[in-house]
Structure 1
Amino acid sequence: MHGVRVLIAPDSFGSSLTADEAADVIAGAWRTVAPDDDVLTCPLSDGGPGFVATLHRALGGDLVPVTVLSPVGEPVPVVFLRVGATAYVESAQAIGLPLVPPERRDPGRTTSRGVGDVLAAALAEGATRVVVGLGGSATNDAGAGALVALADALRVPGLSDDLARGGATLGAVTADDVAGLPALRDRLRGVDLVVATDVDVPLLGLQGASAGFAPQKGATPEQAQALERALADFAHVAAGALGDAVRPDLMAGARAASGTTRLTTAAGAGAAGGLGFGLSLVGGRLVPGSGFVADAVGLGARIAEVDLVVTGEGRFDWQSLHGKAATEVASRALAHGVPTVVLAGEVLVGRRELSAAGITAAYAVASTAEGVREALAAPAQTLAARAARVARTWSR
């Protein structure tokens, strides 16, 4: 009897395991338990950590090194991928949460300036198309810091350096501080700027950048509320500075009555602390990062050749249902009638939500606080042990 054809297609497990490492661990455990199964791997990214590595594996090209400033202003080495006239940039390399020590995590002060530096470097290399992967950031400044860095590099005046001092300063922004936005948008008009977001959330609101994500970056509840107000103020002033450039067609209806409304409610505007919104101010097109990567690696065709897909990530929670890799995998597997199994460090959603996302089953590596601590201490071993048990359940 032939074994099961299995595709292992995980995202990274937080900062514990890269997508490549997670795929190898799960596949190795599966092969040990079910040696007759045909096990293939396809590491993924949703636009966050691993975005460049995943695309480099699929597309080839050259990795270009550059040194930029971290969210707390310290030099950090990053690489972007150049394939012809297209550059692929991973924001997490420049402003990722692991770059900021826990005791220095303050999303009111961290800045996205480093991403603007990488974008400027890509443009200096002659890129006419830039794809920026968003996710896993330590910032909550609506991309204001990135815009300042871009303006400085391109010698576009009219953006105040105060915009690069963190989200907490944005509540005091004035029209003079963003007067250069129209010129920066015009300067980038010849660039196809694609923004691949890891989540489909808006800039503002209960699931937006501040309320939904700032707490995991170190914000207190009071600070998250203050950041919400500051980002709303910045959005209003920035959209006002751009005027007709971001004002929607009146035929679009009352719901899109202003440029502010249209840009702040766009799916992905709240990604990476609102960096999606900031890049949309200068012409960036927001697209789902997980779908972008899935297309690049030919995920649909790979799924069509197997009997089962195993995906995973560090923590499967409400955020996972808003554009993360696991739900993208499940959606594409459902189209081929292939069941999807999720392996995660923690599973914090119920069966109804899992079923609605097209996920057949989900298994947690740890289910208690002590189990989580043990898993973090030995991530590869605990994931392998769980994967082996799942293989016994799903293999013939």
Structure 2
Amino acid sequence: MRVVMAPTGFGGTLTALEAASAMRDGWLRAAPADHVRTCPLSDGGPGFLDTLRAARGGELLSVTVASPLGEPTPGAVLVVDEPGGGRTAYVESAQAVGLGLVPPERRDATVTTSSGVGELVRAALESGASRVVVGLAGSATNDAGAGMLATLGVGTGAAGPLRGGGGGLGAVTVADLRGLAALRDELARVELVVATDVDVPLLGLHGASAAFAAERGASREQAQELERALGHFSHTAVATLGRGAVRPDLLASARTASPAARLTGLPGAGAAGGLGFGLVLLGARVASASGLVADAVGLDDQVRHADVVVTGEGRFDWQSLHGAVVAVVAERALAAGVPAVVLAGQVEVGRREWAAAGVAAAYAVADTPAQVRAALADPAGTLAARAERVARTWSH
């Protein structure tokens, strides 16, 4: 059989390349005659640049940026020369706002800031790129990109309210957003792309605060306050920009809604604590990070020549079905008439849901607390063992 291993990274335990290698090794133990290819993918989070560089080459530019707590942390921008001319700069926002940069005991979604993403975007612009792609996933922040905007020149300086985290955005005024329209006009010369991991809106039950603030250290009460603060900030920002706030091609499905509602409800606006929204304010268009990477690595061609595609991630849950790697692989495999199998650390989606998304089967590495401990102790070994068992079912 011809098998393609196309996972993303498994949380903080395995990179996409390590996961793909472990899955391949386990599969070949059960089916040594099979032809197994690895095709690591990314959802825009940790490993975004590594995956793209392996597929596209390019030059890494090192830069030191601020962490969500304002501490210096290393980052990089990947710059690729395009065949038809021009340069594309790729930014991995998790290098500046990743959840792993904030120890669990210091996580507080009301005060963490996205200022470091602004430093990465500035480095991308200074590279001379005509296209800047910002990968969003795994954020410790929930400030709708306010800190990023401040670093890029919006507001009243280092002491302004945009830099203090999402908790203070409920008091933002139009005066605090001075320079926003000018910055948007300046960036009109660049194609700005937001590559998101999930297609959630900024506000609402499935938005940045209600659905994700808890994992960033917010209590239920703080999540509700963040929802109100981001709502106020978004309406103030859109009012500041006026009629130019909304790109014309975003209006097709909601012509009667207000400009603020159109932007806050945009799929992907809530990605990475609302960083999607902050970048859309600057004129960016939204794209699926998983789809963008899949195109870059030539996933479609590999799927067409496969008998089965195996994808995976650390936790297969409801977020996985909203634009993440698993959903993109399943969609493309279904279009090619090839079964897509999921291997995940844990499976938290019901059969009906994953079957509706085009997944042929889903298997967990760990189901019990003891198995979870074993998986954390030896992530590559336990993933390989699970792949070996799955191969006995699927290889023939």
Give the TM-score range, shorter chain. Answer: over 0.9
Alignment of 1:211-360 (within 5 A): 211-247=210-246, 256-360=256-360
Alpha-carbon distance, 1:377 to partner: 2.2
Corresponding letter in the other structure for 1:345: G
Corresponding residue for 2:102? 100
Q: Match of 1:176?
A: 175
CA distance in 1, matches of 2:381, 2:333: 28
Contact 1:89 1:132 in 2 (8 A): yes
- Is structure 2 residue 131 aligned with structure 1 residue 134? no
CA distance in 2, matches of 1:368, 1:221: 28
What amino acid maps onto 1:52 in structure 2?
L
Report SS of the residue matched to 1:72.
coil
Counterparts of 2:115 and 2:268, CA distance in 1: 19
Q: TM-score, normalised by structure 2?
A: 0.95
Query: TM-score, length-normalised on structure 1?
Result: 0.95
Structure 1 residue 256, shift from structure 2 partner? 4.2
Q: Is the 8 A contact 1:145 1:165 kept in 2?
A: yes
Paired with 2:132 and 2:159, the residues of 1 have a C-alpha distance of 25
Q: Distance in 1 between matches of 2:253 and 2:46?
A: 38
Question: How far 1:151 moved relative to its partner?
Answer: 1.4
The change in CA–CA distance for 1:159 and 1:260 in structure 2 (over 3 A counts) is farther
How far apart are 1:373 and its partner, in Å? 2.7
Separation (CA, whole Å) in 2 of partners of 1:124 and 1:265: 31
Does the Cα contact within 8 Å between 1:113 and 1:145 map onto a contact in 2?
yes
Q: CA deviation at 1:122?
A: 1.3
Any runs of at least 4 consecutive aligned residues in structure 1 with deviations exceeding 6 A, and if so which? 156-160, 248-251
Instruction: Confirm or deny: 8 A CA contact 1:55 1:293 kept in the other structure.
Output: yes
Report the secondary structure of 2:363's partner residue: strand
Unaligned segments of structure 2, at least 5 residues:
82-86
Question: What's the CA shift for 1:19?
Answer: 0.3
8 Å CA contact 2:316–2:349 kept in 1: the answer is yes
Deviation at 1:139, TM superposition (A): 0.6
- 8 Å CA contact 1:157–1:180 kept in 2: the answer is no
Tell me: CA distance 1:253–1:127, structure 2 relative to 1, closer, same or farther (3 Å).
Answer: closer
| 2:389 aligned partner | 389
How many angstroms does 1:368 deviate by?
Answer: 2.1
1:362 deviates by: 0.2
Structure 1 pair 253–314 and aligned structure 2 pair: CA distance change class (3 A): closer
Residue among 72, 77, 80 paired with 1:75: 72
Counterpart CA distance in 1 for 2:7 and 2:126 is 34
The alignment's C-alpha RMSD in Å is 1.7
The answer to whether the Cα contact below 8 Å between 1:71 and 1:110 also exists between their aligned partners in 2 is yes
In 2, Cα distance between the equivalents of 1:254 and 1:338? 35
How many Å apart are 1:251 and its aligned residue?
A: 8.3
Unaligned runs of 5+ in 1: none
Cα deviation, residue 257, structure 1:
2.7
Preserved CA contact (<8 Å) 2:254 2:262: no
Could you say what secondary structure the match of 2:44 adopts?
coil
Shift of 1:179: 2.3
How far residue 202 of structure 1 moved from its aligned partner, in angstroms, is 0.3
Sort the Cα spacing of 1:252 and 1:35 in 2 relative to 1 into closer, same or farther, 3 A.
closer
**d(CA) in 2 for partners of 1:362 and 1:214?**
28
Change in CA separation of 1:247 and 1:56 when aligned onto 2, cut-off 3 Å: closer
Distance change (3 Å), C-alpha of 1:31 and 1:248: closer
User: What code does the residue aligned with 2:236 have?
Assistant: V
Alignment partner, residue 147 of structure 2:
145
Q: How many residues align?
A: 390
Distance 1:245 1:159, change over 3 A: farther
Aligned-partner Cα distance in 1 for 2:133–2:247: 24
**Displacement of 1:259 after TM fit?**
1.5
Amino acid of the structure 2 residue aligned with 1:193: L
Q: Deviations over 1:293-340 (max 9, x none)?
A: 111111110100110000000000010010100110000000111000
Cα distance in 1 for residues equivalent to 2:141 and 2:303: 35
The answer to whether the 8 A contact 1:158-1:176 is kept is: no
Distance in structure 1 (CA, Å) of the matches to 2:360 and 2:120: 40
Q: What is the identity percentage for the equivalent residue pairs of Structure 1 and Structure 2?
A: 63
The one-letter amino acid paired with 2:213 is A
Taking structure 1 as reference, are residues 212 and 301 closer, same or farther at Cα in structure 2, changes over 3 Å only?
same
2:89 matched residue in structure 1? 87
Shift of 1:65: 0.7
Match of 1:189, SS state, is helix
1:146-165 equivalences under 5 Å are 146-151=148-153, 161-165=160-164
